[in-house]
Structure 1
Amino acid sequence: MALTPSNILPLGTKAPNFDLVDTKDNICKSLTELKGANGTLVMFICNHCPFVIHVNEALVKLANDYSSNGINCIAISSNDVINYPQDGPELMRKHATESNYPFPYLYDETQDIAKAYDAACTPDFFLFNSELELVYAGQLDDSRPGNGIPVTGKDIRAAIDALINQEHINPNQKPSMGCNIKWKN
């Protein structure tokens, strides 16, 4: 496991579109059909990363808490499943079911979408407004496995709350930290 910070995309960047298979129902879905009326949180995650496992329940709660506010969450896994079979589509489906994911869990087999978003780690978060312009690219909160800080999601929740209330979102955003995305050779 290589501790990797997220890359920070410039605020205002348009969300790259995609058509990816949702492992929950095996149906191809696009960003345009999944985006929220008021905002969209794109999360790069995977099944096995200890950083994702550490925040998994908080991601479910976050999605449930904000869905009634027109904020949709989308999870994408881009890991190389040849060398990391625990992140393959069948196990993604199982993980999504066991974790009660209220959001789609998409499989980026070619890794083109992770590259388009400049995603670097799991978890990696990108919050877009209703026009699909990037307003936040940073951490969930300061909690990491073993650091004793409770998982609250305070950083991303502050950004989502500001987006919903049409308030200024702090442009000083701390990068997320996690395992590097497992790129194909």
Structure 2
Amino acid sequence: MSRTQSNMLALGTIAPEFYLKDTNSADSYFSFADIKGEKGTLVMFICNHCPFVHHVIREVVRIANDYRVQGIGVVAISSNDVNEFPQDSPELMTEFAFENNFEFPYLYDETQEVAKVYDAACTPDFYFFDNQNKLVYRGQLDDSRPGNGIPLSGSDLRGAIDGVIYNRIINPNQKPSLGCNIKWKK
């Protein structure tokens, strides 16, 4: 299990646009503008097979469900090379979304261009944008990792989302996420 940290895209960066196929609905494509929330937008890079994603996925779904009703748009994107990692194929993304009760799009970044413009490095990697599409948080869900005994809380990400919703200052000292590296095409 490789351990790769987020690259920590600069705060204030405007959300890069995308237009990707959703594996969680029939023949749908979504752009950032399509999934943008009234109060903010959470963009996550995940994949099906990563043990770090498996460790956090229930809390990620809870966060999505808690905040979508408060005006937060949510999307997950998988950018892994499916030729080398067939367990991350779009068909299996559909199954993963169903098994984990995703109520948000799970997009397939076949060209890996979206991961590159977001400077994504690992799964999971979290980016939260305010209602002006400015990056206000990037980094970890919380301090829990597979096997470290710290319970999942989503505290870091929840704190940033609450900061936007309730107009609070968001701590600029943010910890990078840690997970499996994105499987880049050769």
TM-score for the superposition, normalised by structure 1: 0.99
Give distance in 1, aligned partners of 2:85 and 2:34. Answer: 29
Tell me the equivalent position of 1:104.
105
**Superposition deviation, residue 102 in structure 1:** 1.3
Give distance in 1, aligned partners of 2:30 and 2:57. Answer: 22
Give distance in 2, aligned partners of 1:8 and 1:29. Answer: 24
Give distance in 1, aligned partners of 2:22 and 2:34. Answer: 12
Tell me the equivalent position of 1:84.
85
Tell me the equivalent position of 2:47.
46
Q: What secondary structure is seen at the aligned counterpart in 2 of 1:72?
A: strand
Give distance in 2, aligned partners of 1:98 and 1:83. Answer: 23
Which residue identity lines up with residue 68 of structure 2 in the other structure? S
Tell me the equivalent position of 1:144.
145
Tell me the equivalent position of 1:13.
13
- Per-residue deviation, residues 3-43 of structure 1 (Å, max 9, x unmatched): 00001111100010000000011311111011100000000
Give distance in 1, aligned partners of 2:163 and 2:16. Answer: 23
Q: What secondary structure is seen at the aligned counterpart in 2 of 1:169?
A: coil
Paired residues for 1:139-178 under 5 Å: 139-178=140-179
Give distance in 2, aligned partners of 1:42 and 1:107. Answer: 13
Unaligned runs of 5+ in 2: none
Which residue identity lines up with residue 13 of structure 1 in the other structure? T
**Superposition deviation, residue 173 in structure 1:** 0.1
| Identity in percent | 63
Q: What secondary structure is seen at the aligned counterpart in 2 of 1:137?
A: strand
**Superposition deviation, residue 128 in structure 1:** 0.1
Give distance in 2, aligned partners of 1:4 and 1:135. Answer: 22
Give distance in 1, aligned partners of 2:157 and 2:22. Answer: 24
Q: Which segments of structure 1 move beyond 3 Å, counting only runs of 4 or more? A: none
Tell me the equivalent position of 2:61.
60
**Superposition deviation, residue 73 in structure 1:** 1.2
Give distance in 2, aligned partners of 1:18 and 1:121. Answer: 19
Tell me the equivalent position of 1:2.
2
Cα RMSD (Å): 0.6
**Superposition deviation, residue 166 in structure 1:** 1.0
Which residue identity lines up with residue 128 of structure 1 in the other structure? F
Which residue identity lines up with residue 12 of structure 2 in the other structure? G
Give distance in 1, aligned partners of 2:68 and 2:185. Answer: 34
Give distance in 2, aligned partners of 1:2 and 1:132. Answer: 31
